[in-house]
């Protein structure tokens, strides 16, 4: 009875932590965009930098907290799992409801950059540790890629929808204060609850990170995509998910490694998870070009979702 009560409390901690991360991330995102508008920063720059980084804050906070608390597999599993969930779960579910027209930026910049970052992560992780030096390399590469995109991207492609209202400075300050507080408390609850559940179930932190934590931190992307589908908006883009994956690797793991080296504890992350992440990313190429060029639809979504479910089943087995 005591075991069930403790397990129930830890599950509630995880749920409350995820809610805190989602709410805190949303509020900080609004504060960041509001402040950028106040400083009259062009919207396409806001979209490429402020918004992309703010939407990766939940993953970043969880990863840094996990690494500092001595649970590097939570940090690594969170990022690898989130990247798999973004393409397998989020994109898969969205495609069940709508077709997506893929723009040329998919093969000109979005996919190549994301895939290069994925391969670089595979190279760095082969010795079992991502060092501070490698963290610096990841962050520097992110800056270089952003500078490249700023130079070559059509500014009209970057419009921040529903977040560009001009907030007052007091509101911006409140969003920052409460958003930061929710992220701090949410990440603490999530990490603590996840570690306890893993311990009680006799599984590694990696398993909890790959399943519960990564899906939880991908909830904002899934929710936003489904809302866009419901509103019949055409702004859904595969590039948004590829950009999220890029930031997860270069910003989240790069910055986390600067605080604390990330050492793999569960070797399944090296032997299986990382290859699934790279494989599902590589699969996008034939899906986008076959059978109909530059368009993906429900059959592609069903395939991605099936692969994701099989991955989760294998992870839990």
Determine what percent of the chain is predicted with pLDDT higher than 90. 34
Pick the more confident residue, 148 or 223: 148
pLDDT exceeds 60 at position 74: yes
| 226 CB-contact burial (10 Å; exposed 0-12 / middle 13-18 / buried 19+) | middle
As beta bridge partners, residue 130 has 262
pLDDT at 234: 47
What is the band of 54 on the pLDDT scale with cuts at 50, 70, 90?
low
Q: Where are the alpha helices (DSSP H) in the chain?
A: 2-38, 43-45, 52-55, 57-68, 72-85, 91-95, 105, 111-125, 132-152, 169-201, 205-208, 214-230, 238-247, 254-259, 268, 274-289, 298-316
pLDDT exceeds 50 at position 35: yes
Half-sphere exposure of 109 (CA within 13 A, CB side): 17
What is the band of 23 on the pLDDT scale with cuts at 50, 70, 90?
confident
**Average pLDDT of the segment spanning 282-290:** 94
Q: Rounded to an integer, what distance in angstroms lies between the CA atom of residue 117 and that of residue 264? A: 18
pLDDT tens by residue, 160-182: 444 445 778 888 888 888 888 88
**Average pLDDT of the segment spanning 305-315:** 95
pLDDT at 121: 96
Sequence-separated (6 or more) residues with CB below 8 Å from residue 150: 45, 48
CA end-to-end span of the chain: 26
Nearest to 213 by CA among 9, 6, 13: 13
DSSP code of 155? Answer: G
Domain boundaries, given as residue ranges, for the chain: 2-316
pLDDT exceeds 70 at position 52: no
**What is the CA angle 269-26-162, rounded to 5?**
125
pLDDT tens by residue, 234-279: 445 677 788 889 989 999 999 999 988 999 988 999 999 999 999 9
> What class is the 2-316 domain?
mainly alpha
pLDDT at 47: 54
Mean pLDDT (the chain) is 82
Q: Rounded to an integer, what distance in angstroms lies between the CA atom of residue 202 and that of residue 207? A: 10
């Amino acid at each position: 009875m005591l075991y069930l009560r403790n397990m129930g409390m830890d599950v509630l901690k995880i749920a409350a932590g995820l809610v805190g991360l989602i709410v805190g991330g949303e509020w900080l995102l609004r504060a960041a965009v509001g402040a950028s508008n106040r400083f009259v920063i062009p919207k396409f720059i806001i979209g490429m930098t402020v918004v992309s980084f703010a939407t990766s804050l939940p993953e970043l906070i969880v990863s840094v907290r996990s690494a500092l608390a001595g649970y590097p597999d939570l940090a690594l599993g969170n990022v690898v799992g989130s990247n798999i969930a973004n393409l397998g779960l989020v994109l898969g579910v969205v495609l069940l409801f709508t077709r997506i027209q893929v723009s040329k930026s998919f093969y000109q910049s979005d996919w190549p950059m994301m895939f290069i970052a994925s391969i670089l992560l595979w190279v760095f992780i082969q010795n079992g540790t991502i060092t501070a030096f490698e963290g610096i390399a990841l962050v520097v590469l992110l800056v270089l890629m952003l500078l490249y995109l700023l130079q070559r991207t059509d500014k009209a492609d970057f419009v921040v929808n529903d977040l560009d209202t001009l907030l007052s400075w007091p509101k911006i300050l409140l969003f920052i204060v409460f958003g930061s507080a929710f992220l701090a408390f949410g990440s603490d609850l999530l990490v603590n609850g996840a570690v306890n559940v893993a311990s009680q179930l006799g599984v590694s932190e990696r398993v909890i990170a790959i399943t519960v934590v990564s899906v939880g931190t991908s909830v904002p992307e899934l929710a936003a995509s489904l809302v866009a589908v419901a509103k019949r908006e055409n702004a859904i883009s595969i590039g948004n998910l590829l950009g999220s994956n890029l930031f997860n690797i270069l910003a989240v793991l790069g910055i986390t490694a600067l605080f604390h080296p990330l050492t793999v504890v569960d070797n399944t992350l090296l032997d299986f998870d990382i290859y699934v992440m790279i494989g599902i990313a590589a699969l996008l190429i034939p899906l986008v070009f076959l059978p109909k060029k530059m368009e993906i639809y429900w059959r592609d979504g069903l395939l991605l979702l099936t692969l994701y479910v099989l991955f989760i089943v294998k992870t839990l087995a």
